[in-house]
Amino acid sequence: MSHSERRLVILGVAASDSHAVANHLIAHALRGLGFEVENLGTCTPVEEFAQACEQHPDAEAVIIGSLNGHIHEDLRDLPAAREAGRITCPVIVGGNLSVGSKKDPRDLERLQSLGVDRILQDPAQLLPALDELRASRTADRQRLPVAS
């Protein structure tokens, strides 16, 4: 993979969550597919994701896992970080995204209203989602008007 084809993602686990196993498995799988992974580990606040995005402006996505079900509270600062232009790439979340066994479809809408681009139910959806987001961003860049 040449430098121009380099695919970098920022990975971490939501601020209140210390579940590390899935995080390490996803990082390992993505590296095996040729991705560079900036893994921020567990208990990562939005501020740390924003700092990582500023250090890696070419990152193609921020991937946030959560298993404890408190992702909504953990991402309360995401709208401000996005609005300030500190997180400009797509944000993908996955895991157990609400407390309790009964899932409310409004939980997914709440995540989208916070600025989440993709919500994954299964880790197998991650690579297709990354490829699709990358293709749509490339298409958007090709549609930009060219100054003559």
Distance CA 13, CA 32 (A): 20
Contacts of residue 30, defined as CB under 8 A and 6 or more positions apart, other chains included, come to 9, 11, 37, 126
| 117 in Cβ contact with 133 (< 8 Å) | yes
Distances (CA, A) of 117 to 93, 109, 125: 8, 11, 14
19, 56, 70, 72: the catalytic one is: 19
* Known catalytic residue at 17: yes
* Known catalytic residue at 58: no
Distance CA 139, CA 141 (A): 5
| 133 in Cβ contact with 118 (< 8 Å) | yes
Q: List the catalytic residues.
A: 17, 19
